[in-house]
């Protein structure tokens, strides 16, 4: 191995170490003091509940671990947006688990809590996954109610989704394991089955204090909406359990009796590890986001047996397309080539840039995968579409539109991994969040923005300088350097994968060695939802 490889390896392993360190902090939720309060009530913590619920030794693919990271500082922060979500296996059945974290503001709903819950429901609905809600929440965080209550993608959308999923036969089971107040009370009761834990679980539209204030009635919370009340008097809940463990055991028992899911028919054979050593990704992937590398070196460490059937290898070389398998699943891979390549016409093509021929190739490959019913995997390291008179005269907009059209209209499940740059319209063409990937995850090396930091900073500097000069200010070289650093630092902080993950532009940040697991679990989920739409090839064939 050369010095460059060793340097890359050190940097990438450091990024993964930082990722795992941040995750450990996130997993503490609201901290040890708040955790102790929950334990004193005889309750398991949110992550303990999930660990107890899922099958021993099985994988759990968390969605949105970094949601709200660095946000809500004035409110004391909101780790993971106060809710833990992810795909896990319960009694052998893959399902979506949504668990409120009562150590974070008593499980109250912040704006990003609603967005995260809706994303979890979206994944469940797209893949027809059963949903298990572990409810323990004080309801809407009132100081921010205007940002969570009335709009289309706010709190109420979750109950609408409850109703839609039930109508479509997607099983929903709720366990009331703590507070369940006001509008939030509809979530478990709109599920197909609801259970409640004695002594800790309660559900009501208004708590005892509000009841006293509203109608003058004095009543304690247990009498108002505890387990005995709702299992023996109102009939609101279906099962009563003495503790968290018994409640979770009951869910596992119910899940064990579910009928078999439908099958979309995606092809899978026995899984084979890549022949090339997966851990070498750390050394092969450059620490400098501007450097060249061979994307095939990455692909060969992701696909089974390192076997890849490349499509139109000599044409449109700034995008690599081809067929392979990941954990046994047949996949079509669309990946940006990061090294400079020479076309048959003798023209040099910059790495990471989408050219007309590459866009045309990718569009046709996507069409082929739709015809063959093969899921698509996008590996993003893209700086955008090629600009300039030659590209414009060559029809880059038309060819780019074909590719975007193909991505938008694709009916096979799509999975996106942002491994490096994700800039501008390249983000769209390579199936960014706006194009409905079933899952979208980023490596710690990812950068997501409308353009690269240096270009953006210089553009923003020109705008700011013009404004200052218009107000009569003199811009010295020192002042210009100070402004450029300030703008660059601010812009760079907004392009990190953590900034993106906090806002759910991506579903999470992963160690590159987890890429195969994410894609495999994603296709397994998608395989429970047969394709009912047809792919429109009209524009692509013109």
- Domains along the chain with CATH numbers: 31-257 (3.90.226.10), 278-446+506-527 (3.90.226.10), 452-495 (no CATH)
The pLDDT assigned to 393 comes to 38
Distance CA 526, CA 311 (A): 25
Distance CA 321, CA 336 (A): 9
Helix (H) or strand (E) holding 390: helix 389-393
Phi, psi torsion values for 307, nearest 5 degrees: -105, 130
The pLDDT assigned to 454 comes to 60
Give the pLDDT of the chain (542 residues) as one tens digit per residue: 689 999 999 999 999 999 999 999 999 999 999 999 999 999 999 999 999 999 999 999 999 999 999 999 999 999 999 999 999 999 999 999 999 999 999 899 999 999 999 999 999 999 999 999 999 988 888 778 888 888 888 888 999 999 999 999 999 999 999 988 876 777 888 999 999 999 999 888 777 777 777 788 787 778 787 888 888 898 889 999 999 999 999 999 999 999 999 999 999 999 999 999 999 999 999 988 788 999 999 999 999 999 999 999 999 999 999 999 999 999 999 999 988 776 666 666 666 889 899 999 999 999 999 999 999 999 999 987 755 556 553 556 677 889 999 999 999 999 999 999 999 889 999 999 999 999 999 999 999 987 665 665 566 656 666 676 667 777 677 766 666 677 677 767 788 999 999 999 999 999 999 999 999 999 999 999 999 988 877 656 55
Torsion of CA 2, 5, 7, 10, to 10 degrees: -130
Q: Which of 138, 140, 80 is nearest to 110 (CA)?
A: 140
Distance CA 354, CA 179 (A): 52
Q: Which of 409, 437, 421 is nearest to 518 (CA)?
A: 437
The pLDDT assigned to 142 comes to 75
Q: Name 531's Cβ contacts closer than 8 Å, sequence gap at least 6.
A: 264, 373, 411, 412
Q: Name 402's Cβ contacts closer than 8 Å, sequence gap at least 6.
A: 359, 360, 363, 539, 540, 542
Distance CA 287, CA 34 (A): 39
Instruction: Give the angle subtended at the CA of 457 by the CAs of 425 and 295, to the nearest 5°.
Output: 45
The pLDDT assigned to 502 comes to 97
Distance CA 118, CA 130 (A): 15
Query: What is the number of residues in the chain?
Result: 542
Distance CA 442, CA 307 (A): 24
**SS3 assignment, position 508:** strand
Distance CA 95, CA 87 (A): 6
Q: Contact 529/128 with Cβ under 8 angstroms? A: yes
The pLDDT assigned to 348 comes to 62
The pLDDT assigned to 129 comes to 98
The pLDDT assigned to 264 comes to 96
């Amino acid at each position: 191995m050369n010095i460059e490889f060793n340097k890359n390896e050190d940097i990438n392993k450091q990024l993964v170490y930082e990722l795992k360190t941040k995750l450990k902090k996130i997993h503490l939720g609201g901290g040890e003091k708040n955790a102790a309060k929950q334990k004193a009530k005889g309750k398991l913590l949110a992550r303990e509940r999930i660990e107890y619920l899922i099958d021993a030794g099985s994988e759990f693919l968390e969605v949105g671990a970094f949601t709200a990271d660095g946000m809500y500082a004035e409110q004391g922060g909101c780790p993971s947006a106060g809710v833990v979500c992810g795909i896990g296996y319960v009694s052998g059945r893959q399902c979506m688990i949504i668990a409120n974290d009562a150590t974070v503001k008593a499980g109250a709903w912040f704006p990003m809590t609603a967005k995260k819950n809706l994303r979890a429901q979206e994944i469940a609905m797209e893949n027809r996954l059963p949903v298990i809600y572990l409810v323990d929440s004080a309801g809407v965080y009132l100081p921010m109610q205007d940002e969570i209550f009335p709009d289309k993608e706010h709190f109420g959308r979750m109950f609408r989704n409850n109703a839609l999923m039930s109508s479509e036969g997607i099983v929903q089971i709720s366990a009331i394991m703590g507070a369940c107040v006001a509008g939030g009370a509809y979530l478990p009761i709109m599920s197909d089955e609801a259970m409640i834990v004695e002594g800790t679980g309660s559900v009501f539209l208004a708590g005892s204090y509000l009841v006293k204030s509203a109608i003058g009635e004095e009543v304690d919370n247990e009498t108002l909406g505890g387990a005995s009340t709702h299992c023996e008097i109102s009939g609101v809940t279906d099962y009563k359990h003495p503790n968290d463990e018994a409640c979770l055991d009951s869910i596992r028992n119910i899940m064990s009796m579910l009928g078999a899911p439908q099958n979309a028919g995606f092809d899978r054979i026995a899984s084979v590890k890549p022949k090339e050593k997966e851990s070498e990704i750390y050394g092969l992937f450059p620490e400098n986001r501007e450097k060249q590398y061979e994307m095939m070196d990455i692909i060969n460490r992701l696909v089974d047996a390192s076997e890849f059937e490349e499509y139109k290898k000599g044409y449109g070389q700034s995008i690599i397309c081809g067929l392979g398998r990941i954990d046994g699943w047949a996949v079509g891979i669309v990946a940006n080539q990061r090294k400079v390549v020479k076309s048959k016409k003798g023209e040099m093509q910059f790495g990471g840039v989408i050219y007309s021929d590459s866009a045309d190739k990718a569009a046709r490959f996507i069409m082929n995968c739709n015809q063959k019913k093969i899921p698509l995997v996008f590996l993003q390291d893209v700086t955008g579409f090629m600009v300039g008179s030659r590209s414009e005269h060559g029809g880059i907009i038309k060819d780019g539109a074909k590719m975007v059209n193909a991505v938008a209209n694709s009916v096979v499940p799509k999975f996106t991994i942002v491994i490096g740059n994700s800039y501008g319209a390249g983000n769209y063409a390579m199936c960014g969040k706006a194009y409905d990937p079933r899952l979208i995850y980023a490596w710690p090396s990812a950068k997501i923005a409308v353009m690269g930091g240096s270009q953006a900073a210089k553009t923003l500097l020109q705008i700011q300088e013009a404004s200052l000069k218009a107000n009569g200010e003199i811009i010295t070289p020192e002042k210009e350097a100070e402004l450029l650093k300030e703008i660059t630092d601010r812009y760079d902080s907004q392009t990190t994968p953590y900034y993106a993950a906090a806002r759910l532009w991506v579903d999470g940040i992963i160690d590159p060695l987890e890429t195969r697991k994410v894609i495999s679990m994603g296709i397994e989920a998608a395989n429970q939802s047969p394709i009912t739409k047809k792919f429109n090839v009209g524009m692509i064939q013109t």
